Structure 1
Amino acid sequence: MRISRLYTLLLPAIVACGGEGDSTSTTTSDQTLDVDSIAAAVADQNLPSDSLNEYLRENPFDVDALIERADRFIRSKNIPYAEADVKAALELDSLNPRVLLYWGDVNFYKNQTRQSRDAWMKCIEVDPNNVDCRLKLAELYSIVQNYRESLRLVNKVLEIDPSEPVAYFIKGNNIRDLKGDTAQAVRYVQQAIELDPEYWAALDYAAVMLANMHDPTAEVYYKRMLEIDPNHQPTYYKMGMFYLDQEMWNESIAAFTKATQLRPSDAESFYNLGYINLELGVNDVAIDYFNKSIQARQVNHRAYYGRGFVYERMGDLIRARSDYQQALAYNPQHEPSRIALQRLAEKMAQ
């Protein structure tokens, strides 16, 4: 795994390269951060950097040490202090590719994507074979939907290093969005996983895409993710949805149950458990799960509708009507609830 990790595909989409975003609390333009204040920040966060701090006190012009500490700050999301170290390194060696790489990272976290782009482009200009900077820039172009430029960059990376998993992952993402070819996209992502079997983002992407294609291979990737992190609640939820789509009721119940155990406020998993039991005709259990879904999230028109449907099936038309009305109160556009109320009105008029 690279010393400089890639961040952008794990973060929300940000503004296009042409403009600057608000830097808010992550800026340091009005601050002067000296060695002592940075050392204090390291101590406050319990970062294992005491020896590095002491070294930098004695060697404040060591670019590699500054970047190493900046990397630790970035990992702990302390961007102002990371910026201070990278700025110091940049003043010492403005053409150092690793410094430019991290300068791009810092600006990306500040939502200043134009500066990130410029830093990584400068890095490539200084070191044309720098894989990290090409990948960062490729990810940035992918986020702002310049897929052709992103593809050009990753293809160059694969010329430099054909065994680079991140390049295959970005290429797959670009192929899907540029050509709409999900099958080919998944093949590239699978190549990334073959090269790095613990590549979490690639595993998740492959599992979700294959699940959307109703491909049973998705189960393999979900299980691999749970081998890596047995308590990853979102994976249990996604796995439950995959099994639900396949009408594998027992497996789906097990996955959603584990999801609620890991996160008791998971209204969607409780709703899905209610839905499954409704499908299986286990009315009392279905109502119990719809109740839990509503307890987890009160504004929950689907759970009210589901519970109302069970009440209607059981002949309790008064409670059914109340739930359908509540579902419509939360979502006036919910057509199934509107139809259900009309159906109930006809039944109650007989």
Structure 2
Amino acid sequence: MALDSNEYPDKSINKFESMLKTDDVYFFDAEDFEEIIHHYLNLGKISLGKKAIQIGLEQHPNSLELKLLQVEVLTFEDKYAAAEKLLDEIQHIDAHNEEIFIQRANIYSKQDNHEKAVNLLLEALHLADNSFDIYSLLGMEYLFMDDYKHAKESFMKCVELDDNDYSSLYNVVYCFEFLEDYDGAIHYLNDYLERNPYCEVAWHQLGKMYYAVDMFQEALAAYDFAIISDDTFMGAYFEKGKVLEKLGRYNEAVENYETTISIEDPTSHAYLRIGKCHEKLGNTDLAKYYYYNTVHEDPLLDKGWLAITDFHYNQQNYKKALHYINKAINIDGENPLYWKKAAKTYIALENLDEADFAFKHTVDLGNYELDTWLGWAEVLKRLEDYNSSIQVLVQGLEFYPESSELHYKLAGVYFRNKETLAARENLVKAMHKDMEQLESFKEEFPEFKKFRWLQLLVSEVKKTTT
């Protein structure tokens, strides 16, 4: 009885590798060569895949399937001209082979011409009997083009064709999320669950959508159904823990996080969440224990180092906070969040020169948040380096031109730097943007209270805004 290659998938591969080790030449069916080539390409063993294509075409020179696999390898190696030439030859023989259009689309996609790739895939769709893979490729091309509406529709087609295609299901939900259509995602997932009531993946995604729109009780119910469908689904327990945290049910949240640890090896993220819960419950020793476990489990997890630093900072143990944030900087000195936390800790320790240095690193590494500019300018103001403080605030306004806080602070610093005209100009801008912050400004710069012209300025601004 002949052996079925699908029943013994390794047989042809072992036979091929045996042939390569000897001078013998074995004959294979074209289908066997396809199996061998796919095996090597899937493993990333391109040279062996190319060898199999070469021998395969020697034995089966008219096999279009082997030639199409050769096109795939040529495209992978960026040999587009050779791939196109071979596709022209194949198309001359079989003009209605959808794989030709798929391979041409792949070439255009690799050259970032995604619109052309989409058009070719749409042509392939008209020729194909099985459209599943084409819809999947279309979805990815639309994602490359940031066309989330059409990407969503393509991945929906994949799910229609195969309810168990969870990769496409995830992509559908991703598109809904990007479009901020959470209601649409909830409706779609509920429809899907009508057909597949025990799909833990869909329940899990539904829980995340409910969480996104603050429907926490519904999210809890969705995660419970995910757990009923698969009681080893770690993600459902973890996400359920986050919802329980949000609801202030910290002990229950801890139970769910601990379940994730019992299902699989402990993760730094689970330790971190447990630590946060214990800190909220006032269990400082347990919080500290889990924070230490977090950074031990994953020394590169920035949230872990920030949590342990915040823990000591909140306990007003600033020296210990500084010790841990410096330890984090030694591990990853390119992380702007570490430098920003260091800056705040130096401020608490009244070490303003080091705070200035840390803020500079924070900005140099790409953190341009509003409170970064305000914090740095405040440090420089306290150091009485008014020119530098002005420079920082002006730079901050490039990112946040509508910020009244930056304008108020800039007005005050300009005044202290004896640049009265610039101070008045920025103060007017600030008041136009937010008059309510004027009292805070007076507290920060009390010298303004004694100037009668400030009251006149306020009156003028109020007239123009009413």
TM > 0.5 fold call: yes
Partner of 1:259: 396
Count of matched residue positions in the alignment of Structure 1 and Structure 2: 281
Provide the residue aligned with 1:242 in structure 2. 379
Match for 2:414 among 274, 277, 291? 277
Percent identity over paired residues: 13
The range that moved more, 100-109 or 64-73, is: 64-73
> What is residue 45 of structure 1 aligned with on the other side?
180
**Structure 2 runs not aligned, ≥5 long:** 1-168, 460-466
The 1:200–1:115 alpha-carbon spacing in structure 2 relative to 1, beyond 3 Å, is farther
> Does residue 87 in structure 1 map to residue 224 in structure 2?
yes
> Counterpart amino acid of 1:121?
E
Q: Shift in Å at residue 185 of structure 1?
A: 0.9
Paired residue for 1:205? 341
Counterpart of 1:301 in structure 2 is 439
Work out which of the residue numbers 208, 233, 237 in structure 2 matches 1:100. 237
- Which residue of 2 is the match for residue 156 of structure 1? 293
Quote the Cα distance in structure 2 between the aligned partners of 1:311 and 1:284.
Answer: 17
Aligned-residue CA RMSD in angstroms? 4.3
Residue 15 (structure 2) aligns with: none
- How far is 1:84 from its partner? 5.6
User: Which residue, 308, 320, 328 being the options, matches 1:171?
Assistant: 308
Distance of 1:170 and 1:189 partners within structure 2? 10
| Residue matched to 2:424 | 287
Q: Per-residue deviation at 1:199?
A: 4.9
Indicate the residue corresponding to 2:325 in structure 1.
189
Instruction: Tell me: CA distance 1:184–1:285, structure 2 relative to 1, closer, same or farther (3 Å).
Output: same
Corresponding position of 2:353:
216
Aligned partners of 2:445, 2:330: CA distance in 1, in Å? 45
Q: CA deviation at 1:86?
A: 2.5
Deviations 1:186-235 (A, max 9, x none): 22123334445565544432221123332433344434443454643332
Paired with 2:285 and 2:375, the residues of 1 have a C-alpha distance of: 31
Q: Is the 8 A contact 1:234 1:259 kept in 2?
A: no
Aligned partners of 2:336 and 2:366 also within 8 Å:
no
Aligned equivalents of 2:250, 2:415: Cα separation in 1: 49
CA contact (8 A) 2:250 2:281 kept: no
1:182 deviates by 0.9
Tell me whether 229-238 or 155-164 shows the greater mean CA deviation: 155-164
8 Å contact kept, 2:380–2:389: yes
Cα separation, 2, equivalents of 1:285 and 1:65: 58
Bigger relative contact order, structure 1 or 2, given CA contacts below 8 A and separation 6+? 1
In 2, the alpha carbon distance for the partners of 1:161 and 1:40 equals 28
Where do 1:9-48 residues align within 5 Å? 42=176, 45=180
Contact 1:283 1:310 (8 Å CA) reproduced = no
Check whether the contact 2:300–2:332 (CA below 8 A) recurs between aligned residues.
no
**Are residues 297 and 243 of structure 1, via their aligned partners in 2, closer, same or farther at CA, if it must alter by over 3 Å?**
same
Please, which of 370, 377, 398 is the counterpart of residue 233 of structure 1?
370
Query: Which consecutive residues of structure 1, in runs of 5 or more, have no partner in the other structure?
Result: 1-34, 327-350
Cα separation, 2, equivalents of 1:200 and 1:72: 31
What is the SS of the residue equivalent to 1:216?
A: helix
1:79 Cα offset (Å): 5.4
Residue 143 of structure 2 corresponds to none
Counterpart amino acid of residue 377 in structure 2 = G
Aligned residue identity for 1:301: E
Q: Answer 1 or 2: which has greater helix percent.
A: 2
CA contact (8 A) 2:321 2:345 kept: no
The SS at the match of 2:353 is: coil
